[in-house]
């Protein structure tokens, strides 16, 4: 594979692991991506995919449950890179709905055609849309973290496409099943150097970087040079799995004419917890445009109540007086949510 210009770091590799024994929670706690080399190589679809694109498509069709899937379709002019329009007011592709088998036929017809549209069936729940596939194509991860927090298992299917640099709010196990993929990864603290686009619209719910990794415009985005200095590349063959923590930014290139990936998204938190994105949006409303001295004071407040040790703000209080500072459960979370809504709506 051709390395990404300006990036010399390569993602750490673990050889010889097995899905049932790999310590997922420990690796996530390390806070950095890791490649689990060949851990999915025994899956039937990996073997079929090595025979060619057409056998892989035929194999997948047997699991088409008949429910329409969502596909992202882009003009050949975008070069397979899904993102914003030039003026950032729209997206550079369209969303369609159709049968899985129909899109597989479209992909087959366009193999090798440089003028074929970019087609990307993304984040499709395998249980809902491809019933029976999980038993044949999903790995039996045995780490207690995944047992206690069952992941969302999705499939991604397409041709030569690129998901522009973005982050996910969940931890991810990305299984390269058919075709090769290249992930270019950036630590969460590089967010300012990645020049995130508008909060709306977004290609798939998350903000993406304005910088085209294929040809970075450093005159327009000079801080991106610093992001490149912290980036790393994970190059995946069929059967490889990439594990990376939530909020790591990643640019994902599907390198072959036909590509399939299955991923596992999860967070090791109770279901009653709210998404931090709601907090960020409310922060824009309540904090961002205050005077700087106030924002710095609120930063200290958040460090004390939110980002510091969980028991720091309550350890000096008797248990009966801790209120919202006490550990949350489903009932206290419901009360706190109602209190927040009441204050927002007054």
Domains of the chain in sequence order: 12-266 (2.60.120.10), 276-345 (no CATH)
pLDDT tens for each residue of 296-305: 999 999 999 9
Contact 155, 174 (CB under 8 A): no
Contact 119, 257 (CB under 8 A): no
Q: ∠ at Cα 204 (86, 250), nearest 5°?
A: 85
pLDDT for the residue numbered 295? 97
Cβ contacts of 199-204, under 8 Å, gap ≥ 24? 199/281, 201/84, 201/89, 201/90, 201/91, 203/72, 203/82, 203/83, 203/84, 203/91, 203/93, 203/163, 203/164, 203/166, 204/122, 204/123, 204/163, 204/166
Contact 102, 142 (CB under 8 A): no
The count of other CB atoms within 10 Å of the CB of residue 319 is 7
Phi, psi of 89 (to 5 degrees): -95, -10
- Mean pLDDT confidence for 183-192: 98
Q: Of 241, 227, 233, which Cα lies nearest the Cα of 185?
A: 233
* CA-to-CA dists, residue 160 to 104, 110, 261, angstroms: 14, 11, 13
pLDDT tens for each residue of 33-69: 999 999 999 999 999 999 999 999 999 999 999 999 9
DSSP element (H, E) containing 56: helix 53-61
Q: Is the pLDDT of residue 108 over 60?
A: yes
Q: CA-to-CA distance for 331 and 310, rounded, in angstroms?
A: 19
Q: CA-to-CA distance for 217 and 124, rounded, in angstroms?
A: 33
Confidence of residue 2 (pLDDT cuts 50, 70, 90): very low
pTM of this structure = 0.94
pLDDT tens for each residue of 212-234: 999 999 999 999 999 999 999 99
């Amino acid at each position: 594979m051709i390395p990404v210009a300006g990036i010399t770091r390569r993602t750490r590799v673990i050889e010889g692991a097995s899905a049932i024994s790999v310590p997922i929670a420990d690796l996530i706690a390390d806070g950095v991506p890791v490649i689990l080399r060949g851990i999915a190589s025994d899956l039937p679809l990996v073997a079929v995919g090595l025979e060619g694109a057409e056998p892989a498509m035929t194999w997948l069709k047997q699991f088409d449950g008949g429910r329409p899937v969502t596909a992202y379709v882009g003009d050949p002019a975008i070069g397979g890179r899904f993102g914003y329009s030039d003026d950032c007011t729209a997206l550079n592709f369209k969303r369609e709905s159709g049968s899985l088998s129909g899109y597989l036929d479209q992909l087959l017809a366009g193999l090798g055609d440089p003028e074929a549209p970019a087609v990307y069936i993304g984040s499709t729940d395998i249980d809902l849309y491809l019933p029976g596939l999980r038993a044949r194509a999903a790995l039996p991860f045995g780490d207690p973290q995944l047992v206690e927090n069952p992941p969302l298992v999705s499939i991604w299917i397409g041709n030569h496409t690129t998901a522009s640099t973005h982050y996910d709010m969940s931890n991810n196990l990305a299984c390269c099943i058919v075709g090769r993929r290249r992930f270019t990864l950036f630590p969460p603290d590089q967010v300012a150097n990645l020049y995130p686009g508008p909060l709306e619209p977004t290609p798939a719910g998350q903000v993406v970087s304005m910088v085209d990794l294929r040809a970075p415009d450093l005159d327009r985005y000079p801080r991106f040079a610093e992001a490149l200095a912290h980036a790393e590349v994970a190059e995946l063959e069929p059967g490889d799995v990439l594990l990376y923590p939530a909020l790591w930014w990643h640019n994902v290139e599907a390198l072959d004419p036909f590509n399939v990936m299955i991923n596992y998204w999860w967070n090791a938190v109770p279901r009653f917890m709210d998404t931090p994105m709601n907090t960020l949006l409310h922060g824009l409303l309540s904090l961002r445009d205050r005077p700087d001295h106030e924002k710095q004071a609120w930063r200290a407040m958040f460090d004390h109540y939110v980002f510091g040790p969980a028991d720091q703000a309550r350890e000096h209080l008797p248990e009966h007086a801790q209120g919202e500072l006490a550990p949350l459960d489903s009932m206290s979370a419901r009360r706190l949510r109602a209190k927040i809504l009441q204050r927002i709506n007054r």
